[in-house]
A and B are shown apart, each in its own frame.
Chain A
Amino acid sequence: GQQLNQSPQSMFIQEGEDVSMNCTSSSIFNTWLWYKQDPGEGPVLLIALYKAGELTSNGRLTAQFGITRKDSFLNISASIPSDVGIYFCAGQMGGGSNYKLTFGKGTLLTVNP
């Protein structure tokens, strides 16, 4: 089946630092998504990418959809304590009845004040 390789597995940073995480896949996806999950909560959508090469920002977050459609990265600038959580990438084939998401294993982010 499809697999997403997400790295790093965890990160410990100081408040104010920038963060970068990425996902790669052996399969091509039509859509890449980045979610954040707080403990005991469901994932919350941060950024959705629909076109190869697309670079999209959401506040301090920036994500890009790789040209090959097999990778994506998420950057967080000037981190703050509330950025703590697990970040998941997800790929979606999309279209018709194939809405299924394939998730990466997540990146646990810890921000030290």
Chain B
Amino acid sequence: GAVVSQHPSRVICKSGTSVKIECRSLDFQATTMFWYRQFPKQSLMLMATSNEGSKATYEQGVEKDKFLINHASLTLSTLTVTSAHPEDSSFYICSATQTGGTDTQYFGPGTRLTVL
């Protein structure tokens, strides 16, 4: 149980384009999902907290207009990187907590974004 998927697993795009990454909780409902970014050989850094049916809460230094988050259902959150640039190239990982469960976060397999 508690499986989280991400799509796509890898994406390569040209500079200036937008990329959408999906995060799904497959066998549980998730009121809250989180988006992290991980640069090579570094730890996970929280970008934003996504709550179903409301606006996401962004961490300090993360541009909300560049990283658009939509959490339209209890099983799906999307992260759109708008006008991507090479410095946005990173490993993006989502996690989800089970509605009515503990605070434990279950992580997706990650999405490798490369911006040319």
Q: Which A residues lie at the B interface, using CB under 8 A?
A: 31, 33, 35, 40-45, 48, 88, 92, 94-95, 99-101, 103-106
Bound CA span A31–B97, Å: 14
Contact of B103 among A88, A94, A103 (CB under 8 A): A94
- Extra inter-chain contacts (14) besides given A42-B93, A45-B106, A99-B105, CB under 8 Å: A33-B104, A40-B91, A41-B109, A42-B6, A42-B107, A42-B108, A42-B110, A88-B43, A88-B44, A92-B103, A99-B32, A100-B46, A101-B46, A104-B43
Contact of A41 among B44, B46, B110 (CB under 8 A): B110
**Number of chain B residues whose Cβ lies closer than 8 Å to a Cβ of chain A:** 24
Q: Are A105 and B42 in contact (CB under 8 A)?
A: yes
Give every chain A residue within 8 A of B4 (Cβ-Cβ). Answer: 42
8 example contacts (A-B, Cβ-Cβ < 8 A) are as follows A35-B107, A40-B110, A43-B107, A45-B106, A92-B103, A99-B34, A100-B49, A103-B43
Give every chain A residue within 8 A of B42 (Cβ-Cβ). Answer: 105
Considering the complex, give the chain A residue whose CB is closest to the CB of B2: A45
Q: Are B107 and A44 in contact (CB under 8 A)?
A: yes
Q: Are B104 and A48 in contact (CB under 8 A)?
A: yes
Give every chain B residue within 8 A of A43 (Cβ-Cβ). Answer: 44, 93, 107
What 1/0 mask marks residues of chain B from 72 to 102 whose CB sits below 8 Å from any chain A CB? 0000000000000000000101010100001
Shortest Cβ distance from residue B90 to the other chain A in the assembled complex, whole angstroms: 13
Give every chain A residue within 8 A of B43 (Cβ-Cβ). Answer: 88, 103-106
